[in-house]
């Protein structure tokens, strides 16, 4: 009896501790503000409340009440067409800034580009292990142009201090370089295909600093390729949350992904899959505009080598995926 009571007590303490940990606000998208084309989830924003040319485009964030994952509502984010231009769908805790009609100069930040004043900060001082949520995805059926069959959705959480911008690298002086303010981030990229049923995603946070975060920035779009020229891609989101390490020693999918070693030398990428028995795994490489530049399947029980000779030197993003894990990160190719 004492043993049973002890186990129950430990479980109750663990549940209480989990509930007490910091979570993201309104990521079940149950509360909304505004009306008509200006409706947005409470705590979050779209292009309609952005600066510069951002609000000139059509509505890209919608309140949906049918076919939700749970509760009464979910968020729909769609890349729309406006005067012959593709307006990337956006749902963010920051502000969408479009200082010009050059799409590559657009960014999401915690600064209002027009007034230069800090805005839209969500206070967050914890260091979670991973970002999880539920999504559906409809890929654009448009062909040609930029994007098309390579369209993928993005959900990103950035833990930072001070102000922050996404993408981080300034273009034509559109914003300062605040990359030093990043504490860590988690990045989910969807498959470049339709996902018709609610599907759970889970990606680990990668930390670059031991400092305590001040804020979290959440950025979501159905068109990770910032300069896409095709409209129609749609991302449905519901029930996003962050997960903290339980400390019970269970090998989670996130932990499996974190243990995979990957490095680049002399334009050869090495992925260590020794002593692994994954059913199906692949690695995709994207440039900083979101364009897919390399994709390869991975074999078990070996160190996979992948030539990147076709790529120019610079910074790239990778997405490593298996049936039960996903890992994203950056690659520097010299």
Q: What is the pLDDT of residues 123-181, one digit of tens each?
A: 999 999 999 999 999 999 886 667 678 899 999 999 999 999 999 999 999 999 999 99
* Chain CA centroid to CA 293, Å: 19
Report how far residue 224's alpha carbon sits from residue 192's, in angstroms, rounded to the nearest whole number. 11
Alpha-carbon distance values, 132 to 69, 137, 323 (Å): 14, 16, 15
Beta strand 268-272 pairing with 303-307: antiparallel
Instruction: Measure Cα distances from 58 to 29, 134, 186, 201, 296 in Å.
Output: 21, 25, 29, 28, 37
176-204 pLDDT, tens digit per residue, is 999 999 999 999 999 999 999 999 999 99
Q: Give the residue, 20 or 204, on which the prediction is more confident.
A: 204
Domains and CATH numbers, the chain: 21-243 (2.60.120.890), 253-333 (2.60.40.1220)
Q: How many CB atoms lie within 10 A of CB 88?
A: 29
Contact predicate 47/55, CB 8 Å: yes
- Token pair belonging to 125: 């001082």
Residue with tokens 């654009």: 140
Per-residue pLDDT tens over the stretch 217-272 = 999 999 999 999 999 999 999 999 998 865 444 444 554 555 677 888 888 898 88
Is the confidence at residue 20, as pLDDT, over 70?
no
Chain Cα centroid distance, residue 240: 11
pLDDT at 289: 77
pLDDT at 256: 55
Q: Is 13 exposed, middle or buried (0-12, 13-18, 19+ CB in 10 A)?
A: exposed
Residue 250, CB-side half-sphere exposure with 13 Å CA sphere: 7
**Element of type H or E holding 41:** strand 40-41
Contact between 153 and 224 (Cβ < 8 Å): yes
């Amino acid at each position: 009896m004492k043993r049973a009571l002890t186990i129950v007590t430990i479980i109750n303490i663990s549940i209480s501790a989990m509930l007490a940990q910091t979570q993201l606000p309104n990521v079940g998208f149950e509360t909304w503000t505004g009306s008509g084309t200006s409706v947005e989830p409470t705590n979050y924003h779209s292009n309609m409340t952005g600066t510069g040319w951002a609000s000139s485009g059509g509505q890209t964030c919608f309140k949906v009440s049918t076919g939700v994952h749970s509760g009464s509502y979910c968020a729909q984010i769609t890349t729309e067409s406006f005067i012959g231009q593709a307006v990337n769908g956006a749902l963010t805790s920051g502000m969408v800034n479009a200082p010009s009609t050059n799409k590559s100069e657009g960014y999401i930040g915690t600064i209002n580009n027009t007034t230069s004043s800090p805005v839209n900060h969500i206070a967050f001082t914890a260091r979670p292990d991973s970002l999880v949520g539920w999504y559906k995805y409809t890929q654009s059926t448009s062909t040609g142009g930029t994007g098309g069959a390579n369209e993928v959705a993005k959900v990103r959480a950035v833990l930072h201090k001070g102000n922050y911008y996404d993408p981080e690298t300034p273009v034509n002086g559109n914003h300062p370089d605040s990359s030093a303010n990043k504490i860590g981030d988690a990045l989910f990229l969807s498959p470049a295909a339709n996902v018709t049923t609610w599907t759970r995603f889970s990606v680990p946070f990668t930390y670059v600093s031991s400092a305590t975060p001040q804020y979290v920035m959440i950025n979501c779009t159905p068109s990770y390729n910032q300069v896409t020229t095709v409209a129609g891609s749609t991302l449905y989101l519901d029930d996003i949350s962050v997960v903290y390490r339980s400390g019970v020693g269970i090998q989670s999918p996130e932990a499996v992904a974190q243990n995979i070693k990957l490095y680049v030398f002399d334009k050869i990428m090495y992925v260590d899959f020794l002593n692994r028995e994954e059913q199906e795994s692949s690695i995709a490489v994207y440039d900083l505009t979101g364009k897919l530049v390399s994709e390869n399947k991975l074999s078990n029980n070996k160190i996979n080598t992948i030539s990147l000779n076709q790529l120019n030197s610079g910074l790239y993003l990778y997405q490593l995926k298996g049936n039960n894990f996903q890992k994203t990160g950056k690659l520097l190719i010299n």
